[in-house]
Structure 1
Amino acid sequence: MFPTPIAHTRKPVQWLYKLVLPLSLLLWLLPIMAVALTSIRGAADLNAGNYWGLPSEWKIAENYVAVFSNSPIARYILNSFMVTIPTVMGALALSCLSGFALGVYRFRLNLLVFFIFVGGNFVPFQILMVPVRDLSLRLGIYDTVWGLVLFHIAFQSGFCTFFMRNFIRDLPRELIEAARVEGASEFHIFWKIVLPLVRPALAALAVLIFTFIWNDYFWATVLIQGDHAMPVTGGLKSLNGQWVAQWQLVSAGAIVAALPPIAIFFMMQKQFIAGLTLGATKG
């Protein structure tokens, strides 16, 4: 079986694992620790080059209050929810339908259509910047929340379909055939049999897509210009002055912006883990 559990490997491998794992975790946590420390510093510390030491003056409440008073970050967070929630719902709905079609039905171009969905994930999204912006202008949805939602749904549909198709394909086909024999319609099979069985996968996918869309910066700055529709990732730049970079406020805003996806993960962590491990012990 691969990979071999660490407990069953040779002693040198176990020692190396015990040495490398804490170092890797520390390396991963260092940027987060730096942002957290910066968010409670004063500007004097940053100007003096004190980036890693303890703050000479603690401005916890001041910096976090300034984030909300010096910028419309509450509006940005609301915009992020207005973009993320419809995107998650739309992407899940489309991927469930397309995943059901590709996972249950056997037709000639099934594999080709599936490869098209998968292949879209390998296209660098940066090369789509100009055509997507031009298309949004022609459709009259540039600089709107719903324009950003529609493009996010389109871009996420490939990965979501790939994810759901594989889960639906692993379901016992006998259940679907038995329902057809009983006279159930295809929609009834989809709604009453398939969806309840893939609920853990839907929860896992919802957490992933929520995190992807919430943390998006590229399309937020390409397709949105005004504060009326700007998500929080793009709106953090308003915390900087014209001539002076207020990194303590940007860091505090980044901490605030990171809280919703973290809360979503902890609220749905059981479903998330169950969805990712669904079928792991099969066979």
Structure 2
Amino acid sequence: MPLATTGELVSRAADARSAVASFNIITLEHIEAVIAGAESVNAPVVLQVSENAVRFRYGRLLPLARAAVTAAEGAAVPVALHLDHVQSDALLRQAPDAGFGSVMYDAARLPYAENLAATRAAVDWAHARGLWIEAELGDIGGKDGRPPLDAHAPGARTDPDQARAFVADSGVDALAVAVGTTHAMTTRTASVDHALLKRLSAGLDVPLVLHGSSGLPDTELAAAVAGGIAKVNVGTALNIAMTGAIRQYLAAHPEAVDSRRYLTVGREAMARAVADIVRALGPAEPSTAHRPPVRRGPLTS
């Protein structure tokens, strides 16, 4: 199947008031597991490569990107390729030639004015090349080992008025919002500020993205999608599934040395986790609930 684009998958999900799952990949086993899990529930999916994953791969983007593109083109469901949490402009500029149709440009660490200026410049460059651009406003926390902010700390939540101005002035195609989740959670104990999410969904005309979704139980995932989230990012949940399965296998087979044996069980565990998360997001059915029309970004990426 031809490589899909994140823009088209997210726009369709937003129009249907559903969400597309977007999974961070690190190894070939991650890629294969995400596609296998998506195929098992007949759902589109996004493969995400983060800047941290590129750093792990000796700073080289193309080996993992080429593998992802090849696997996506052989998938039985639509698969898109997304470059996630990009802070490096040099990495951003590699995206089009590496097969990526979208980028999450992350300047959220900067003060608001600097975030806006950097994001606006990234958007202008990316849109000229057909890339769909996601940005982040508010502090989701947990990235690179940072602890989550207290719920009442400045910047710990996305302000709806500031978000409207940011979207209008930056020209982004989607916005990741801070509504209570945290990156890299290993327990599913987080909860969403649903009142805030409702205000953000009602006030913005671009799709909303939820980062740190591994920390949410199924009921919260479904409620977040019902509340307006159109793209759900998951990373840690796959690593938990893979690592747990491999630990269990090696404990039962201390003589094992063939990596294919334990990587197989790790890959299968990740595929099951993918299917479970996609199912938790709920059916892709239109809702009669009011929502502003979604502004579409470039779909040719």
Structure having the larger proportion of residues in helix:
1
Task: Identify the TM-score tier after normalising by the shorter chain.
Answer: under 0.3
Q: Higher RCO, 1 or 2 (CA under 8 Å, sep at least 6)?
A: 1
TM-score normalised per structure 1: 0.27
Structure number, greater radius of gyration = 1
